[in-house]
Structure 1
Amino acid sequence: MHAWPASEVPALPGQGRDLRIHDTATGAPVTLQPGPVARLYVCGITPYDATHMGHAATYNAFDLVQRVWLDTKRQVHYVQNVTDVDDPLLERAERDGLDWTALAEQETKLFREDMTALRMLPPRHYIGAVEAIPGIVPLVERLRELGAAYDLEGDVYFSVESDPHFGEVSHLDAAAMRLLSAERGGDPDRPGKKNPLDPMLWMAAREGEPSWDGGSLGRGRPGWHIECVAIALDHLGMGFDVQGGGSDLAFPHHEMGASHAQVLTGEFPMAKAYVHAGMVALDGEKMSKSKGNLVFVSRLRRDGVDPAAIRLALHAHHYRSDWEWTDQVLRDAVARLERWRAAVSRPDGPAAEDMVEAVRAVLADDLNAPEALAAVDRWVARQEEAGGTDGSAPGVVSRTVDALLGVAL
């Protein structure tokens, strides 16, 4: 599966700072010091209704992670999956009378277009669950050999008790885990499971549903968590720098994935930091496909909204915060974009070096994009009030906003 084209990232003078970011697993900030190549895995979409503002906010956060790393002169090895076979996708296809593969291709194509328009840097490897199945099957077989998996009526489950570190990503109690498991794709009430929290690794073929040859597992399809584990281990290996996604993935998805990988490899932890973006609401409720309260990037684009304004709207909220999308949020972003573009179109302005370092500093400090916007706002205000004599300053500002915030002025 191919990703989307990369926009050019301007090189800035000097060098950025190492990223200090909040780690869900420790509940505290950690300073990441990758080697020459930083490794990032971000969980991708289930392509049945893409791309709403909740998606955009999540991928915006991890685009900033990449840009901070690139500014330190590192390369970034970024991997993202597409869960292109799963119950919600199959249910939507049946509801709408569509072929599930056609629906997945259609929504993945739209997602690529949205990411391109928003100038999100693409992953080096963009891998669908279906194409990952040949690598998933041996991992499930290995977990069964290790005694960490068991069969139940043809399905294969992972035993959470096989990982002594289970629970160390989300730090939830058993009752909270059971509730979230039921809400987020698990089946804690299924009779016969060793532990209600045990997640499915391999689902035996169901009549009328797609299935693949699973070798000793029989025909079926993979569970959600093992999909990401197989892709991450194949392309990044254990101990990669950041595992990312929305805050609703901390449990069960990232918790279970970490346990799968740690049992498979005997190493800990799977990732050096687990980083989670907040949720975006509309009309007082979390924006989600199940609720149908979605604001789509593609619809905004069709209505003539500049994608740069959408990105500025996202940057106006700290990535870890939960916030609400409103018409005013968008109006503020459009006004800011117009003001910035007017400023950099002038022939000169006040010196911009302090602004560059201010943006670098706040982004390296847990991706504080709202403060980065404020730093640019201050330079624009100085230019509007007193002008300046530095003919290079508007270009420096424009390149900084492009390189570090992904916004083309």
Structure 2
Amino acid sequence: MKFIVQALVSRLVETGNLTVTYPDGSRQTFGDGTGNPVHMRINSRKALWGLAVDPAYYLGHHYGTGDIDIVEGDMYGLLKIVFTGNPDFQYYDTRWNRALERLRYLLRWAREKNSVVRSRRNVQHHYDLTGALYDLFLDQDRQYSCAYFERPDQSLDEAQLAKKRHIAAKLNINRPGQSVLDIGSGWGGMALYLARQLGAKVTGVTLSDEQHALSVKRASEAGLGDEVKFLLQDYRNTDGPFDRIVSVGMFEHVGRPNYLTFFKKSASLLKRDGVMLLHTIGRTDRPTANNPFIEKYIFPGGYIPALSEVMQAVEKSGLAVTDVEILRLHYAETLRHWRERFMARRDEAKALYDEKFCRIWEFYLAASESAFRWQNLIVFQLQLAHDQEAIPLTRDYIGRGEDCLKAHEGNPKGERRGPRQFPQEAAL
């Protein structure tokens, strides 16, 4: 197996500075010597076999088990060399890895057919980890989705606030008291923002016990218990109708067999003059299988769609697409912040769990950032409606809405119930 790994790495790394030590103690250097040096040590023959047979899974798996170590540099540096060392070749370009990817793609329906019970179990796998873990690397509002960097020098907290503002402006909430459904409401930040800044009446639904408990607590502490309610239930069991629907970072967990169900249910919950905003990770290329490491260790049952897969379901649902925006490197920057913050407090994460957990999460954050920065992952923001006149004719209303929200965010805390000025767009 050593010669297979050598051949693969030789093709992957034409530029960069990578040293590999094999289980037999031999050492080999790849690349042209430029950039920061990285030294990977393969500690066991099973890790060598894994890298030869299925690097997409076994690099992260064996880094987690300790069968692979990074003795110089870090995992992010290794992945940078792997994904940028030869732009004309990637590990999945080999005949064997294309066959593996094809097999995973053919078996996708069994993994992604998420019933109500299975969806809850999958969500609990990730989101019911202790909240103390997420406090180590998320912003103060616990936004666990792509931030929106209006400026390169923005802090994570500023960019996450800008994300909420951008989404709120696209929802075009134009009067107090409008009803909003937040599908996959997380720890409640989006729902609380819409209630506080726009006077919306928000219902958030989540399948995570941890998220639900904290969301309810946050609404009560903010004095928004009458404006915001959080339900521990599946979106498929939700009753409407609503003036607006928002879903941020939840669609990745739906699974392709349920896409039409998701959009048909959303269509039935949305009023005829309503607006929906869907924010989801997507891919720039053709439909393919999920990363097997992420599937097993991080997000079981999930899938990252191509835009074509989403549109097919939307077209059959009764909803119409009224706006599409692609956020390209925003998630790469978000993940950079998360990775750096996690690594700065890694010892605290280890105290909460163990070394294997930290290694798996270190790989997850580094690999995810790499995928958004150098591979095929992006974020889609899709605006949907029944009636095309539900949205102003031009996109100018988004910027005006953001400006109004910025001004309102600066109000003293005690003025949140005061008069609220909305952009006047009804004539368009």
Same-fold status (TM-score > 0.5): no
The structure showing larger relative contact order (alpha-carbon pairs under 8 Å, at least 6 residues apart) is: 1
* Bigger fraction of residues in helix: 2
Question: Per the shorter chain, which TM-score range?
Answer: under 0.3
- TM-score, normalised on structure 2? 0.26
The alignment's TM-score, normalised by the length of structure 1, stands at 0.27
